[in-house]
Structure 1
């Protein structure tokens, strides 16, 4: 997505294996790859010249062929609840957003994996923006590295702009760098990746990653879910759950289902029954989420009383249920509100 200022590639976001290939092509000692990864991901080098234990030859070759690829956010908005929304620039007047959510016991960053999204969910501002581009692993990780609160982060969720499993190669690469001992060495239990359920990619994600998994459900009923989420026409929620049943996730890896509460649509006793039947015997939890109205949408949110009743009924059925606290709504940083469409429009208007 983001373009170098020259024809050079970006160094940040390369895996150890990719660095080893680069080092070998330069005729440098093999250990140089590990030195570079240390500077990129452990020592947070700002420039190639900062990599002082590399030979002058190595630094010269790297500088001739690569830029670092680390970009600071260009704008920040702060909510009255402490949530911050960071804007990162991209090429051709494109932008992405990341949301920093501080709580007493954790500090979470919600990162984007694409510019826009192809999936067209009825309730999502990013979907209304349409799809512009995939992010590279470096661009995903840059959101984590480049905010001022980077060192404070306890958790990262891939729940920002885009469908992570629609950009699976780069998402998996970013997860490798984030969790590898030569990278940031995070526990995968600090990471949660959300998906609407692209089944082929879902299987690969489960097998190649140890991160937690969140599935966007929003209705247990096919026809209703189709109206909310076009993906239901391709991969049904039953098929997604059947795939989950094939794997042993162990006791530490968590599966959760995201469920936005829509007033008079998916918040009835019939839905409690449908969810209970769908998830019968599957070790998981459900997160109930407030709907944040978006322009042009006929949807409205459930009342707090209805949401609480819905939660209580699911809990009585033995399903661990949480009502997720809404954060950053006043700066459009809450669930489903991330979009840079109007910003792109404004930038284009100002360029004339």
Structure 2
């Protein structure tokens, strides 16, 4: 690292922060103090960290920074959903969505990449292509910005990007979010959603605990090949074998997200095939009606089709939940706010295939 480049402390896990401070000749416990200031108290100015010596605060100001985000745009829905658009240091943008739950609870949907390389045909973000991965600070800063609007109870890595395509940054971000001196999110409060990168799924399970959600969306390879090109590399049989091998605590299940698309995957025959496909997997199914958006020929299923699909699963002993759509009066689908603003401004770049 160049001598004049300051370290963003939000890129560092507790262990890495301890190492950084040790390199400055400082005591190990200072790392925990810094984590408390930055994450628990939301303070990013070293001058305000009053239980640190003046000399340490001045040295940190010379050698480090603690980045802090303010959204460039916020859309607010009648149901309380908030969609944030953040502009990054290089001019790129990502979205984050705050979803109200029962009572005062909220779930935050976080992005892990600018764009996405998976090219799922139903997903607006996939049309942007992959521009780049987010670093750990850029993932964590979405949470830091959102908690300014109130507590965030649960986090889902389910926004723009494929989290397992950015595994190293995602694992580090999880370690930062889990740190007891910081936000202290337990693994049961964080869910990671993947399109089905099989080797990375198994690597994730070996390295860190997190709730796993698999974006499934089809019951045959022929249909899933069309909806999700990743299936051509890791077909359903291979994906299901990986799900059976994924390490789960005794009471935990893998969530299978199933976006229902009219006339594509919403038949009763699809429902019966889904039951067979998930046999032997500790599973629950989230049924999500397709969120229509400009540029897509896909359509949402009718309410009767959704109810019949769910009833078929329930009658066969499966856990099947209909997920209510939020933020329907704003740019609700992943990528809509980015596409609307940047497309109108002519800012959508030609994607560079970077990892």
Q: TM-score, normalised by structure 2?
A: 0.91
Q: Contact 1:293/1:301 (CA < 8 Å) preserved in 2?
A: yes
Q: CA deviation at 1:265?
A: 1.1
Question: Cα deviation per residue 1:106-164 (whole Å; 9 max; x = unaligned)?
Answer: 31111111111111000011111111121111111111111255542111111111111
Q: How many residues of Structure 1 are paired with residues of Structure 2 in the alignment?
A: 343
Q: CA deviation at 1:342?
A: 4.0
After superposition, what is the alpha-carbon deviation per residue over 1:283-309, rounded to whole angstroms, capped at 9, x for unaligned?
211111011123332211211100100
CA contact (8 A) 1:129 1:339 kept: no
Aligned pairs (5 A) from 1:267-282? 267-282=266-281
CA deviations 1:247-276 (Å, max 9, x no partner) are 441234331100011111111122122211
Shift of 1:177: 1.3
Q: CA deviation at 1:235?
A: 0.9
Look up the match of 2:154. Answer: 155
Pairwise mapping of residues 306-325 of structure 1 onto structure 2 (< 5 A)?
A: 306-325=305-324
Matches of 2:328 and 2:133 in 1, distance apart?
A: 26
Q: 2:49 aligns with which of 39, 48, 51?
A: 51
**Alignment gaps of 5+ in structure 1:** 1-5
Shift of 1:13: 3.4
Deviates more, 1:197-206 or 1:31-40: 31-40
Secondary structure of 1:69's aligned partner: coil
TM-aligned CA distance change 1:186 to 1:77, over 3 Å: same
Residues 119, 223 of structure 1: alpha-carbon distance in 2 compared, 3 angstrom cutoff: same
Kept in 2: contact 1:211–1:253 (CA 8 A)? no
Paired with 1:92 and 1:177, the residues of 2 have a C-alpha distance of 23
* Cα drift, residue 345 of structure 1: 3.8
Aligned residue for 2:6?
8
Does structure 1 retain, via aligned residues, the 8 Å contact 2:95–2:335? no
For 1:338 and 1:57, locate their aligned partners in 2 and report how far apart those are by CA, in whole Å.
47
Distance 1:182 1:294 in 2: 41
- Residues 1:346 and 1:215: Cα distance change in structure 2 (over 3 Å): same
SS at match of 1:257: strand
Backbone CA RMSD of aligned residues: 1.8
User: Per-residue CA shift, 1:25-46, capped at 9, x if unaligned?
Assistant: 2122222222222222222213
Q: So what's the TM-score if we normalise by structure 1?
A: 0.92
**Structure 2 counterparts to residues 292-331 of structure 1, below 5 A:** 292-331=291-330
- How far is the alpha carbon of 1:103 from its aligned partner? 2.1
Instruction: In structure 2, list runs of 5 or more residues that go unmatched.
Output: 348-355
In the alignment, what sits opposite 1:125?
124
| Distance in 2 of aligned mates of 1:264 and 1:346 | 32
1:96 pairs with one of 74, 85, 94: 94
**CA distance, structure 2, for counterparts of residue 211 and residue 253 of structure 1:** 10
1:210 partner SS: coil
* Cα contact 2:44–2:67 (8 A) shared by 1: no
